[in-house]
């Protein structure tokens, strides 16, 4: 009788273990399909029109956003020239895919706005079909406040990448005698500001060169997170870092250390 009772107990325990194993396997399979069912591969959008790209991404439950406009000699105007994340990246549904739109070959002549007042320069650039990025400021008492001291890209530049011009503008020197606040030089071209720094009495230390880093975009996969590289947009000769930092007080005769993209 005791042996039969013990046998029945073992059978019940075995049946319970089997039920638990089956439930665990079902839960794992459900989780697997739930995770992977929410993942998609990013399609290749290069060369598509925005309408075609929206149709492709909408069908995969991805969000499309226009990031920048670029000139391109090989991609017709109105079509996509680059994307992030790149094609084939595994992402979750509702992920945002950022694209850059081609403006076609550069047909715009970059006007010379040096010496103009900032507002006049902005109007001249816009009338030429160009945009203006954030302006950098440099204390300069030798010219009228608001005068454009430098522009990047320079006048009549060819093969520029974006239809955006950055200006360096004169502002009053409100700091102590023989000193002023360090302007923000990040993103400007070294060749366009070297003379301006020297003219106001700032010495330029030997320039450091650094390989421009490639931005990273996180793409979630079933096994974790991986990083997908995005095409670099930093042009050689662009200032990456400065010392002292923007806003620091600097005296005439002090030197500035610049790190420039190689």
Q: What is the pLDDT of residues 129-147, one digit of tens each?
A: 898 888 888 888 788 999 9
So what's the pLDDT on residue 31?
A: 57
Report how many domains make up the chain.
3
Classify residue 148: in a domain, yes or no: yes
So what's the pLDDT on residue 51?
A: 92
User: How far is residue 242's CA from residue 225's CA, in Å, rounded to a whole number?
Assistant: 33
So what's the pLDDT on residue 46?
A: 92
User: Is the pLDDT confidence value at 115 over 90?
Assistant: yes
Kindly report, residue by residue over 226-235, the tens digit of the pLDDT: 444 444 456 7
Classify residue 97: in a domain, yes or no: yes
- Out of 55, 71, 102, a domain closes at 102
Same domain for 131 and 192, yes or no, is: yes
Classify residue 112: in a domain, yes or no: no
More confident residue, 207 or 250: 207
CATH classification at residue 125: 3.30.10.20
HEC per residue, 107-151: CCCCCCCCCCEHHHHHHHHHHCCCEECCCEEEECCCCCCCEEEEE
> Of all residues in the chain, what percent are helix, strand and coil, respectively (each to 5)?
25, 35, 40
User: How far is residue 41's CA from residue 55's CA, in Å, rounded to a whole number?
Assistant: 15
Classify residue 245: in a domain, yes or no: yes
Same domain for 124 and 254, yes or no, is: yes
Average pLDDT for 197-223: 67
């Amino acid at each position: 009788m005791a042996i039969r009772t013990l046998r029945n107990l073992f059978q019940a325990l075995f049946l319970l273990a089997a039920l638990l194993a089956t439930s665990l396997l079902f839960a794992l399979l459900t989780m697997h399909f739930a995770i992977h069912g929410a993942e998609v591969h990013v399609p290749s959008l290069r060369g598509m029109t925005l309408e075609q790209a929206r149709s492709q991404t909408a069908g995969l439950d991805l969000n499309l956003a226009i990031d920048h406009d670029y000139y391109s000699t090989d991609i017709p105007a109105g079509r996509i020239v680059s994307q992030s994340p790149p094609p084939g990246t595994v992402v979750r549904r509702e992920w945002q895919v950022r694209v850059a739109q081609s403006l076609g070959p550069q047909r715009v002549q970059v006007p010379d706005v040096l010496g103009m007042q900032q507002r006049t320069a902005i109007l001249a650039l816009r009338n030429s079909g160009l945009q203006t990025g954030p302006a950098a400021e440099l204390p300069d008492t030798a010219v009228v406040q608001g005068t454009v001291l430098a522009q990047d890209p320079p006048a009549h530049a060819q093969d520029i990448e974006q239809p955006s011009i950055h200006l360096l503008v004169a502002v009053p020197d409100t700091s102590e005698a023989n000193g002023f606040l360090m302007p923000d030089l990040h993103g400007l071209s070294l060749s366009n500001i070297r003379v301006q720094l020297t003219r106001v009495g700032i010495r330029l230390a030997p320039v450091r060169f650094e390989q421009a880093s490639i931005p990273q975009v996180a793409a979630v996969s079933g096994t974790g997170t991986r990083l997908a590289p995005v095409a670099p947009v930093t042009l050689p000769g662009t200032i990456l870092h400065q010392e002292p930092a923007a806003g620091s007080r600097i005296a005439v005769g002090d030197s500035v250390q610049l790190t420039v993209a190689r």
